[in-house]
Amino acid sequence: MLCGDVSPTIVYNANEPQRPVPPGRLWAPDAAAGDFSRDNPHSGAVWHYEGENPREFARAMHRTRGTVGTPADLRLVADFSGLLHCLSSPWPNNGSGWRRSTWGAPCT
């Protein structure tokens, strides 16, 4: 394992399955080259959210640099695509939450 690597997964290669692939400009598993990933037992990830359906634009969580706003029992986060996601809600039928259009970050 790479020293200090707190990413959720680590990329390995079938030729040396016990040795992580060194970081590069693009660091993603290349299945054609024999790469695969494993969960990192030293991950610093506290939670992970991809959206209700990562393949559908309006229901996916896109890139963000913002923080999560936490008024009352809500967890609000805005992404770069202009969508505001509510990750937890006390209302019924919230699924993973709701989405609204936005430009900015939640102010709580």
Please check whether residues 52 and 91 belong to one and the same domain: yes
Please check whether residues 55 and 104 belong to one and the same domain: yes
The secondary structure element, H or E, covering residue 37 is: strand 35-39
Domain count of the fold of the chain: 2
List the chain pLDDT tens, one digit each, 108 residues.
Answer: 456 788 888 899 999 999 988 876 666 788 899 999 999 988 888 777 777 788 888 778 888 777 777 777 777 788 888 887 777 765 544 444 556 666 666 665
3-class DSSP assignment, residue 12: strand
User: Among 28, 45, 62, where does a domain finish?
Assistant: 45
Task: Give the whole-angstrom CA distance, residue 31 versus residue 13.
Answer: 9
This prediction's pTM: 0.52
How many Å separate Cα 42 from the centre of its chain?
17
Please check whether residues 64 and 106 belong to one and the same domain: yes
Segments forming the whole domain that contains residue 7: 1-45
Task: Give the whole-angstrom CA distance, residue 94 versus residue 74.
Answer: 11
